[in-house]
Amino acid sequence: MEQNCVGILGTGSYVPEKVITNHDLAKMIDTSDDWIVERTGIRERRVVKEGESTLDLAVKAAEKALQDAGVTAAELNAIIVATVTPDMPFPSVACLVQEKIGARNAAAFDITAVCAGFIYALATGSMFIYTGNYKKVLVIGAETMSAITDWSDRNTAILFGDGAGAVILGKTTPGYGVLSLHLGADGSGSDLLKVPAGGTRLPVSEEIVANRLHFIRMDGNEVFKFAVKVMGEAAKQVLEKANLSTDNIAYLVPHQANLRIIQSAAKRLRLPMDKVVVNVDKYGNTSAASIPIALDEAAKSGKFKNGDIIVMVGFGGGLTWGSGVVRWGK
């Protein structure tokens, strides 16, 4: 069987309108704009309004990506949504998206790999296209992190935001599109970043809610150390797989968790910051949505030129990480 080349045919993203600035947070918890900017680079984040959910964000990003790619919903063979904040435990957000956009010919499922989720979903979608059995796949990263954030915990409340990004995958010209992918996991670090309750081990109860166990818990320092190390390594490994080196990078599109993590990764790769796509200042950490939002914004701003080597790299709870190299263009 001849292997197809997988291209990104279009991108789209959506962030909710409601803004929470660092100054707003400083009125709610013991923190300050100066501290948050200095330690994270974040200035504000978007959050959903009442009644808005991950599905709404995902649909808006998907519709923009379809339009950008010139692909109709009926042409889609699969929808994959990376999320840890689905509308409900099941059905999947992907099934709900399928109904909303009218993708009657698509299989649909969600993927859980937290902030590395988009890269995991991109890899999964790419495999479908490689085989030649699937022609068009919609991959979405969508999160409503505000729903699982403990707004009274200053360690985490300052970091997260809501949003969605999407890409349409399809066959492309050889030499273009996804050149290599790399995924990794280390479950021994599962306690470092998690939502302890709400699953089958600790189902939601009044006691669980009173102890705030249905919100994110994080060991920030340990996650920081892991992130700095893995970002550089994962970028180098995926470049090697594509027979490329860091010198070939036109742009790095990293997971937007913390500006200091991004700067450290860039330093390890000897990459000047003007080759790094950064929007963490505007949106905070939107988990699985962060890479596709950054990718879409950079693409729409005209940053990427035909033939550019773009490296995406993400890390997150699990622990998980993933990276991908794309030659931009069709």
CB-based contact 254:315 (threshold 8 Å):
no
Q: Which stretch binds ligand UT7 (CB under 6 A): 77-85, 101-109, 127-135, 213-221?
A: 213-221
**3-state SS, residue 170:** strand
Which residue of this chain has its Cβ atom nearest to ligand UT7 in the complex?
A: 220
CB-based contact 66:12 (threshold 8 Å):
yes
- How many beta carbons lie within 10 A of that of residue 304, not counting itself? 21
Is 198 near ligand UT7 (CB under 6 A)?
Answer: no
Rounded CA gap, 171 and 12, in Å?
A: 18
CB-based contact 16:49 (threshold 8 Å):
yes
221 is catalytic: no
Q: Which stretch binds ligand UT7 (CB under 6 A): 33-41, 50-58, 139-147, 275-283?
A: 33-41
Which one of the listed residues 5, 77, 115, 258 is annotated catalytic? 115
CB of 104 to ligand UT7, least distance (A): 35
CB of 15 to ligand UT7, least distance (A): 17
- Please list, in sequence order, all residues whose beta carbon lies within 8 angstroms of the beta carbon of residue 170, skipping any fewer than 6 positions away: 6, 7, 9, 69, 71, 129, 135, 136, 137
Binding mask 138-167 for ligand UT7 (x = CB under 6 A): ----------------xx--x---------
Instruction: Name which position in 35, 109, 130, 151 contacts ligand UT7 (CB under 6 A).
Output: 35
Binding mask 96-125 for ligand UT7 (x = CB under 6 A): -------------------x----------
- Please list, in sequence order, all residues whose beta carbon lies within 8 angstroms of the beta carbon of residue 124, skipping any fewer than 6 positions away: 80, 111, 139
Angle 1-4-237 from CA coordinates, rounded to 5°:
110
Binding mask 224-243 for ligand UT7 (x = CB under 6 A): x--x----------------
The gap from C-alpha 22 to its chain's centroid, in whole angstroms, comes to 22
- Residues in the chain, how many? 330
- Residues at the site binding ligand UT7, with contacts judged by CB under 6 A: 31, 35, 39-40, 115, 154-155, 158, 193, 218, 220-221, 223-224, 227, 257-258, 285, 316
